[in-house]
Amino acid sequence: MPVDLESLYPKLIHLMLDTVFVVDGDHQIVLVSDACEALLGYRADELTGTSITDYMHPDDLAITQASILRVMDGQPHLDFRNRYIHKDGGIVHILWSARWSEEDEVRIGVARDVTALMQAEAELRFLAHHDPLTKLPNRSLFHDRLNSGLSAAHRHQNGLALLFVDLNDFKCINDIHGHAVGDGVLCTVARRLEGCVRETDTLARMGGDEFTILLTDIQSAEAVSQKVEQIRMAMVEPLGAEFGGIRMPSCSIGVARYPADGEDADTLLSHADDEMYRMKRLCR
């Protein structure tokens, strides 16, 4: 017995895990498969007859319109990504494959939810440039910011300062109380240092208990000294009760100013590092 393909196609469409949209030239949804409810939270009968643009993220309307024009001009778009608003208000990242059917005067698209993929890609990009424990920029990103800052400082004849912050006797916390507690202290330090810098500055964890701070557009040595004092004051605040009476470690801060202490990244880092160790010896 021959298979009636014409009656089978609608059943196949509604079995697909991806969502099938059929949209006319005025952006009205003519048909949508049942998978739309998992994708956007709406049943097929709620979407049919409405404008597909009503569900698009407003920031993506322009690039989506350009893709629509391309498809309606006869050029299939097989890898287009944009964002839609879910019925619950959340954002859904969608990968589209779409083409224009000239004989039916409709746009046929297959939509796949790639929100989890986009989030995973964003997480990987973040981890490539940030410390996984404190979420601060890592050594690699800091060096990029430092070189960019130096270029800008040279171009605009502005001052720049580099601070090297190291915790004193932090190893004792790890040795006595364990690395989990030590990690908690490092995160506390990171948050306190964040409260001392501007959005235009860069705070990074270089590794272990070492942090660096890039201060951009610094006008005077006094401004640097004030920032160092602000950090010292933030660091002497006691740790919270969750640390069970553990004392907040003091810190040693080395300072290097551009251009007085060097005009390139390596010289400034070396100078700040030397100054930090000099301050650490004074604390003993």
Question: Do 253 and 165 meet the contact criterion of CB atoms below 8 Å apart?
Answer: yes
How many Å apart are CA 40 and CA 211, to the nearest integer?
Answer: 44
Question: Do 48 and 32 meet the contact criterion of CB atoms below 8 Å apart?
Answer: yes
Question: Do 52 and 32 meet the contact criterion of CB atoms below 8 Å apart?
Answer: no
Closest CA to 271 of 155, 170, 161: 161
How many Å apart are CA 271 and CA 7, to the nearest integer?
Answer: 78
How many Å apart are CA 265 and CA 160, to the nearest integer?
Answer: 11
Task: Give one DSSP letter per residue of 42-88, joined into a string.
Answer: --HHHHTTSBGGGGB-GGGHHHHHHHHHHHHTT--EEEEEEEEE-TT
Which two three-digit tokens encode residue 121? 């890609």
Closest CA to 50 of 32, 63, 72: 32
Helix (H) or strand (E) holding 115: helix 115-129
Hunting for tokens 């993929």 — which residue is that? Answer: 117
Catalytic residue among 209, 217, 266, 274: 209
209 is catalytic: yes
**Backbone region of residue 18 per phi and psi (left: phi > 0; alpha: psi in -120 to 50; beta: other values):** beta
How far does Cα 211 stand from its chain's mean position? 20
Which two three-digit tokens encode residue 211? 């942090």
Question: Do 239 and 212 meet the contact criterion of CB atoms below 8 Å apart?
Answer: no
- Residues involved in catalysis: 209
